[in-house]
Structure 1
Amino acid sequence: MTFYDGLYPFYPTARTPAGFNTIEIVVIIIFLVFLVSFLIILIGIRGAERFHWLARITLSLFIGVVIVAVNFSNNWERASATVNTTYKSFSSVNVNAEVGIHVGFSGVNVTLKGVPEIQQNETINYNEEFLWTSGNSFADAYRDGLERGLPDPILYIAEKFTPNSPCGVFSQYKVSSHYASATMWVALAAWMLANILLWLKVPLSGAYMILVTGAFMIFSLISFGTTRKTELCAIQFNDVTLRSSLGPSFWLTLATALLSLIIGITIMALSVWAPQILSKVLVLTDNTNDEDTDIEDYYNVHYRENEKPTDVPMNTLGNVV
């Protein structure tokens, strides 16, 4: 094991985790810092406005962190099963292991973990990433895995996604993931514009952009969902078949998109039928005219209205006697 990062010496770079990778963690931490900062600011706000701002900030940051985090997630589609299979080439020795597939916008992660983890005097715990994004060659990554002597189950699954595979799913996943990622970034831009418009107290235009945010998230789901039309070749390990299903990132994006649509429609409805309620919820009232308020409090308005002018005797020249 290396001295610095605990990786095996024959792995030149760190392997991407299948569940949470470092980019997702960094994104979540950044949004949590923003949330904590706004919560500290909310301490100085009094009354019901504090809860209104809390709801606005929490919902907005939640939608934003979901849009960014799912772009780097590897759990849009996944499959796992416990199998008994060969471990090395040119060897008939079988091992019990849990194999998994984790598909994201950038590629696919293939995992292999022994049950138990130590078998055949080796620690069986692999997580290999094969990318199909621009600038990365899936075929070269697969060829590199062959040269490094990866376990048979990993190479068997990765071979199903190669460009020359008879399965023919490589182009479908690559194109669908590309457009799904692009539409998610458009949703992020719409989310930022919606926050700016709401901050500028233009609720109706902000509601339109929230609807656009939810719509582009739906478009992203539709784009990635087209991969389900292409049936993946059967991944068979003896009598166990590995079947994939939509992962948590897909369902989380769907829930967030529906939330955005509900928020946008609600703001539009309130702006038409209940503008006073919308003004209170979004804190649209302008209370910056403090000078006029102070003057009004200083003078007794009712006294001035009821005050009657007194008759002052004056001489013929107009001078007060």
Structure 2
Amino acid sequence: MTLFDGIYPFYPQQRRIPFFDVDLMIVIIVFLTFACSFLLILPGIRGRARLFWFVRVITSLFIGAVIVAVNFTSDWEVGYVRTNTTYKAFSNAVVNAEVGLQVGLSGVNITLTGNPVNQINETIDYNEQFSWTFGTNYDEEYNEGLRKGLPNPILYLAEKFTQNSPCGLNIQYRISGHYASATMWVAFCAWLISNVLFSMPMFVYGAYMTLVTAAFMIFSLVSFSTVKNAPMCVIQFGTTTLNTDFGGSFWLTLATGLLCVLIGVIVIMMDIIMPEKLKAFFNLDEEEEEEILVEEYINPHFLKTDTFRSPLDFKLTIKNI
């Protein structure tokens, strides 16, 4: 420890703003770029096909963005508690603050916000990330927090997830997070294949792959939710207990998975009951009608005339009409 303003321990680094994930922002920017590019070419699509294309592309981009983005979010499971707690080691100073815990697939995010923010001549507004992804060591990041002199509530929560903690939270959340992330990437691959199949006259197979996408998203949720059934360690701040519930990313993934199920079932039923309307939705009916006109009305007499020198001339004439 080094003396900092006469108080042990110290925190020389500038306090972080609320968690800003660069990877998550890159994912959002990429999918927004795709969406904006499509909106620029949307006016060039004629007739009712414009609405059909808009619904298809925006829905597909939304599903893909959710599948990728939730791998980098930190709110699969969240919990908050407001309590009076000690602030620093070797000090009896007590502060009133809100302690927050956010668990994601790649680690935990712990926040400490004073109520009010300025207490005991300090700004109590911390946001710390501890990761267990491949290539990182959670215990090393925790030890780094000890060296920096993070406040007691943050270190107390972070210690619960260390490998040597008797709570065993590290292995529970780390393994379930790795499996959940892996199944989400498989769902992303299935989403890509479904888009390829939907762009071809193979709608039923695209619907099947959409159901596969939904299945792997549900598998991911099941993998993460198994932690809730495991014996949990009590997280106590004085007389107050911090309890966690599923967060926004969990429910967003569930809603998107159910949306994929709905899309797959609707496409399969439409292929059985009303295939013509399904073709119209995918903008194939106009192309088929043109082919029929070409096959039925082009004959050698027309091809010998000056008006229609080739089937292509006749097809272009039909389009202009």
Q: Normalising TM by the smaller chain, what interval?
A: 0.7 to 0.9
2:263 and 2:177 mapped to 1: Cα distance? 27
**Paired residue for 1:214?**
214
The reply on whether 1:230 has 2:230 as its aligned counterpart is: yes
The reply on whether 1:247 has 2:215 as its aligned counterpart is: no
**Paired residue for 1:312?**
none
2:149 and 2:25 mapped to 1: Cα distance? 31
| TM-aligned CA distance change 1:178 to 1:296, over 3 Å | same
**Paired residue for 1:202?**
202
2:219 counterpart letter in structure 1 = F
1:37 and 1:296 mapped to 2: Cα distance? 39
| TM-aligned CA distance change 1:186 to 1:16, over 3 Å | farther
| TM-aligned CA distance change 1:187 to 1:218, over 3 Å | same
Deviation at 1:260, TM superposition (A): 0.2
Per-residue CA deviations over 1:170-206 (Å, capped at 9, x if unaligned) read 1111110000000000000000110011112210111
2:79 counterpart letter in structure 1 = A
**Paired residue for 2:22?**
22
The reply on whether 1:107 has 2:107 as its aligned counterpart is: yes
Q: Which moved more, 1:130-139 or 1:261-270?
A: 130-139
Contact 1:177 1:224 (C-alpha < 8 Å) held by counterparts: yes
Q: Which moved more, 1:20-29 or 1:208-217?
A: 20-29
Deviation at 1:81, TM superposition (A): 1.3
Per-residue CA deviations over 1:81-121 (Å, capped at 9, x if unaligned) read 11110000111110111110011111001111111111111
1:271 and 1:236 mapped to 2: Cα distance? 56
Per-residue CA deviations over 1:47-95 (Å, capped at 9, x if unaligned) read 1111111110111001000001100000000101111100001111101
Per-residue CA deviations over 1:132-157 (Å, capped at 9, x if unaligned) read 12211111111111111110000111
Contact 1:16 1:128 (C-alpha < 8 Å) held by counterparts: no
Contact 1:15 1:129 (C-alpha < 8 Å) held by counterparts: no
Contact 1:72 1:105 (C-alpha < 8 Å) held by counterparts: yes
2:223 and 2:267 mapped to 1: Cα distance? 28
Contact 2:214 2:258 (C-alpha < 8 Å) held by counterparts: yes
**Paired residue for 2:169?**
169
**Paired residue for 1:276?**
276
**Paired residue for 1:95?**
95
Contact 2:11 2:148 (C-alpha < 8 Å) held by counterparts: no
Deviation at 1:44, TM superposition (A): 1.1
State the TM-score, normalized to the length of structure 2: 0.84
1:201 and 1:119 mapped to 2: Cα distance? 65
**Paired residue for 1:152?**
152
The reply on whether 1:180 has 2:180 as its aligned counterpart is: yes
Aligned to 1:99, what secondary structure does the other structure show? strand
Identity of aligned residues (%): 51
2:204 and 2:46 mapped to 1: Cα distance? 26
Contact 2:68 2:188 (C-alpha < 8 Å) held by counterparts: yes
Structure 1, gaps ≥5 residues long:
1-7, 302-321
Aligned to 1:287, what secondary structure does the other structure show? helix
Aligned to 2:168, what secondary structure does the other structure show? coil
Q: Aligned-residue CA RMSD in angstroms?
A: 2.4
| TM-aligned CA distance change 1:182 to 1:17, over 3 Å | farther
Deviation at 1:287, TM superposition (A): 2.0
Q: State how many pairs are aligned.
A: 289
1:232 and 1:28 mapped to 2: Cα distance? 34
Deviation at 1:290, TM superposition (A): 7.9
Aligned to 1:161, what secondary structure does the other structure show? coil
Aligned to 1:268, what secondary structure does the other structure show? helix
| TM-aligned CA distance change 1:291 to 1:224, over 3 Å | closer
Runs of 4+ aligned residues of structure 1 deviating over 6 Å after TM superposition are: none
Q: Which has the larger radius of gyration?
A: 1
2:126 counterpart letter in structure 1 = Y
Aligned to 2:285, what secondary structure does the other structure show? coil
Aligned to 2:97, what secondary structure does the other structure show? strand
Deviation at 1:21, TM superposition (A): 2.3
1:107 counterpart letter in structure 2 = G
1:16 and 1:296 mapped to 2: Cα distance? 70
2:108 and 2:82 mapped to 1: Cα distance? 19
Q: Which moved more, 1:86-95 or 1:140-149?
A: 140-149
Contact 2:11 2:149 (C-alpha < 8 Å) held by counterparts: no
| TM-aligned CA distance change 1:281 to 1:220, over 3 Å | same
2:291 and 2:168 mapped to 1: Cα distance? 69
Per-residue CA deviations over 1:232-270 (Å, capped at 9, x if unaligned) read 311111121110110000000000000001101111111
